[in-house]
Amino acid sequence: MIRFFPGSATSAVFRRLLMVALALAGLAAMMSPPVHAESRIKDIVTFEGVRDNLLVGYGLVVGLDGTGDSLQQNAPFTEQSLAGMLERLGVNIRDKTGAIPTTLNPKDVAAVMVTATLPPFAHQGTRIDVEVAALGDATSLRGGDLLVTPLVGADGEVYAVAQGALAGVGISATGASGSSVTKGVPTTGKIASGAIVERQIPFNLDSLQTVNLSLRNPDFTTASRIANAINAYLGTDAAQSIDPATVRVRVPARFHGNTTAMLTDIERLKVQPDEVAKVVIDASTGTIVMGEHVRISTVAIAQGQLTIRITETPQVSQPSPFSQTGTTTTVPRSNIQINEGSKNKIALMHHGVTLQELVNNLNALGIGPQDLIPILQAIKAAGALQAEIKVI
């Protein structure tokens, strides 16, 4: 045993070496990759009550450069809205019979639908973004201003009021000869922070005795792992997976009146989500997404196409010079080529091959995404694909 005396130079050197070794060990532990890909609970679940609410409203956009609605022809609702708005501002445009004059036909006004998303726990005075879309036959909303528009929720109550200049409107131009160019959608636009929240949705999170966690991708195994991770952290059996999509958590006594603090700690816990074996196919674009757990039983795959190519090269036949007989005629010449896919091979998929092995074997056959779609469906029909196929 080596003994170091306090205050000696050897002891100081040893302490420095020990500190360096501990620092290197900690750095190596931080840089080493995790064995399994874990996710935070906050990234795979949503909490009860913490949700968005959709708002919608009807309003008018003014200031358009002759690209608004045609009032009497295709947008009578714009005419009625314009007359009602002017009357509320003290301007009466109706005649003695109460009818709107037919001469009222400004091309600088358009009726629009205004939509917005009210985030959870938004308080009065908070600003939110809104989207505007033409409702009538307006050709463009570029350069327009949205007038005061109440935004209502599903219960019919007004939760926000929108107003402001539109941005992000597309451009459309047409030439005299009929040629045109369009960039974006000229009949839609956005107003950043264009609405002010006037009413907040009441929800007291800290008064809850139980909280439900909803899985974004329902799964029995993932729900069980979430419940186990929460119970291990809280030190009690407070969490229970009641179905593949829901984990119910009873608020422990030490968190009564402070549920927010409990959820803050829970959402940072990490679990390893499980997933089912699934193959997602988008036939319109040829996109194929296969999960990690997709397995193939023993099966042989052959892919080939019969291609027949016919090339016509007609030739002109003429009589000899100064000949008194014969006429000029066209002689057909046809070249027929047949490709039976003789270079294609048969690939043998052994039992339990992985996703990487499947991709490598299919690539060896020279199979593209469009050809891969019917092959996967045929393997599934043969009972050799141990996964679910979903066509979107």
Domain match, 297 and 350 both: yes
Instruction: Write down the H helix ranges in 193-297.
Output: 220-234, 259-266
Q: Look at residue 39 and tell me if it is in a domain.
A: no
The pLDDT-based confidence of 353 (bands split at 50, 70, 90) is: low
- Give me the mean pLDDT over the 346-373 stretch: 66
The pLDDT-based confidence of 2 (bands split at 50, 70, 90) is: very low
Look at strands 388-391 and 278-282 and give their pairing: parallel
Lowest-confidence range among 50-54, 173-177, 338-342, 376-380?
338-342
- How many folded domains does the chain comprise? 3
pTM over 0.75: no
> How far is 139 from 218, CA to CA, in rounded Å?
44
- Give me the mean pLDDT over the 340-356 stretch: 57
- Identify which of 204, 191, 194 has the alpha carbon closest to the alpha carbon of residue 121: 204
Q: From the CB of residue 185, how many other CB atoms can be counted at a distance below 10 Å?
A: 16
DSSP string of 346-373?
EEEEPTTB-HHHHHHHHHHTT--HHHHH
Lowest-confidence range among 66-70, 179-183, 207-211, 303-307?
303-307
Residue 167 gets which letter from DSSP?
Answer: B
Q: Look at residue 5 and tell me if it is in a domain.
A: no
Domain match, 257 and 178 both: no
Domain match, 67 and 186 both: yes
Domain end (from 153, 176, 197): 197
Give the end-to-end CA distance of the chain in Å, rounded to a whole number: 71
Q: Look at residue 379 and tell me if it is in a domain.
A: yes
Domain match, 244 and 361 both: no
Domain match, 374 and 246 both: no
Domain match, 57 and 188 both: yes
Q: Look at residue 321 and tell me if it is in a domain.
A: no
92-101 pLDDT, tens digit each: 877 777 777 6
Q: Which residues contact 136 (CB under 8 A, 6 or more apart)?
A: 69, 70, 74, 75, 77, 78, 110, 111
Domain end (from 197, 227, 246): 197
Domain match, 305 and 345 both: yes
Domain end (from 175, 197, 219): 197
Sign, CA torsion 326/327/328/329:
negative
Q: Look at residue 12 and tell me if it is in a domain.
A: no
What's the maximum distance between 2 C-alpha atoms anywhere in the chain?
A: 129
Domain match, 136 and 225 both: no
Domain match, 110 and 162 both: yes
Q: Look at residue 291 and tell me if it is in a domain.
A: yes
SS3 378: helix
- Identify which of 257, 256, 237, 232 has the alpha carbon closest to the alpha carbon of residue 248: 237
Domain match, 252 and 343 both: no
Domain match, 139 and 73 both: yes
> Which has more confidence, 75 or 148?
148
Q: Which domain holds residue 228?
A: 205-271
Strand partners, 131: 115, 190
What is the average pLDDT score of the chain?
Answer: 79
The pLDDT-based confidence of 386 (bands split at 50, 70, 90) is: confident
Instruction: Write down the H helix ranges in 38-89.
Output: 41-44, 76-88
Question: Token match 């306090």: residue?
Answer: 6
DSSP string of 120-134?
TTPPTT-EEEEEEEE
7-63 pLDDT, tens digit each: 555 555 555 655 555 555 454 444 444 445 789 999 999 998 888 999 999 999 999
Q: Look at residue 292 and tell me if it is in a domain.
A: yes
Q: Look at residue 109 and tell me if it is in a domain.
A: yes
pLDDT given for residue 1 in this prediction? 45
Report whether pLDDT(71) > 50: yes
Burial of 107 (0-12, 13-18, 19+ CB in 10 A): middle
Burial of 301 (0-12, 13-18, 19+ CB in 10 A): buried
φ, ψ at 87 (rounded to 5°): -65, -40
φ, ψ at 377 (rounded to 5°): -65, -35
User: CA 134, 136, 140 angle in degrees (round to 5)?
Assistant: 50
Domain match, 248 and 285 both: no
Lowest-confidence range among 4-18, 95-109, 309-323, 348-362?
4-18
